[in-house]
Copies of this chain bind each other. A is one copy, B any other.
């Protein structure tokens, strides 16, 4: 090919970081399933093979996007929790979570990737940090272990489940506004935390 026709190639200036960020944007645009090495290479105008100097493989790319997403999510959660407590903190955390998922569907999907704590350390750390923040919400509800852990799991489950079902279209069958149900769901979680069942 005369590609070279014009000789000088201006180096695309790829780095793992730039690739990861672009991948996150791409995932948000076209969906995480369609985040592919080939698509990313096209985006930068280079050959697929060129990405392998910066990324181990396709899964590596996805894990990096997951780590980015989990970090951003934890940052937002931290910001939402700053200066708030109790029910206020809960609501702010919940909204931050859902808003992030809405704004960054591709990143959010990446965050759901199954991670191997052994190898995907960065992502796993970010996930742990997010869990710590979730736990900090419960300080206002005075739950002792192991109820606290149970509550963290329930909280995360409800929020993740809601967002996930909403995105999958699971709530489209009914005209009730999804935002309203969300507000009631957060209220219900607050209720459950305040009356946490003994035993």
Q: Which residues of A contact B (CB under 8 A)?
A: 112-115, 117, 127-128, 131, 146-147, 149-151, 153-154, 156-162, 164-165, 167-174, 176, 180-181, 184-185, 187-193, 195-197, 199
Contacts and interface: CB of A to CB of B under 8 A. Distances in A.
A176 B114 CA distance: 20
A190 B197 CA distance: 9
The 4 closest A-B pairs by CB, nearest first: A161-B161, A157-B161, A157-B162, A150-B184
A181 B160 contact: no
A149 B176 CA distance: 7
Oligomer copy total? 2
Given A169-B114, A196-B188, A156 B147 contact: no
B162 A154 contact: yes
A181 B153 contact: yes
A185 B162 contact: no
B149 A160 contact: no
B165 A156 contact: yes
A172 B117 contact: yes
A158 B112 CA distance: 16
A17 B196 CA distance: 46
